[in-house]
Structure 1
Amino acid sequence: MEQLSPTDALREAISRVGSQSAMGRLVGVTQAAVWGWLKLNKPLPAEHVLLVERETGIPKEV
């Protein structure tokens, strides 16, 4: 996989789980929180990285 920016990696992970709502359910936050990460170009919070890596295959080293 090519090197992705943290925001692009988050977008790809969301795509793989199906939606912002699905990502929120996966990590235990609201869809609005996921939207906020994208809107503000924030990386996935560290406490969710390993779970998202395991569930989506997006490597944590982006």
Structure 2
Amino acid sequence: MIGSSNRDTKAPHVAIVGGGVAGIAACKALSCRGISCTLFEGQPRLGGLWVNAYPGAASQVASLF
């Protein structure tokens, strides 16, 4: 039959590699649109380069400096 499809019509589940700012933003954007996702991060904390070592202090400085 023309136009028919046996494809599964369920929404995809997305894997995001990297828990930096871009990975977190992508996961939030997908979740807001009803798309499930799993965020994978190799470090103990999320934030990527923006994680700082000063508990309780917010900083907009990359952790490499």
Report the TM range for the smaller structure's normalisation: under 0.3
Question: Scaled by the length of structure 1, what TM-score is found?
Answer: 0.24
Looking at secondary structure, tell me which structure has more helix per residue. Answer: 1
Asked which structure has the greater RCO (Cα within 8 Å, sep 6+), the reply is: 1
Looking at secondary structure, tell me which structure has more strand per residue. Answer: 2
In terms of Rg, which structure is larger?
2
Question: Scaled by the length of structure 2, what TM-score is found?
Answer: 0.24
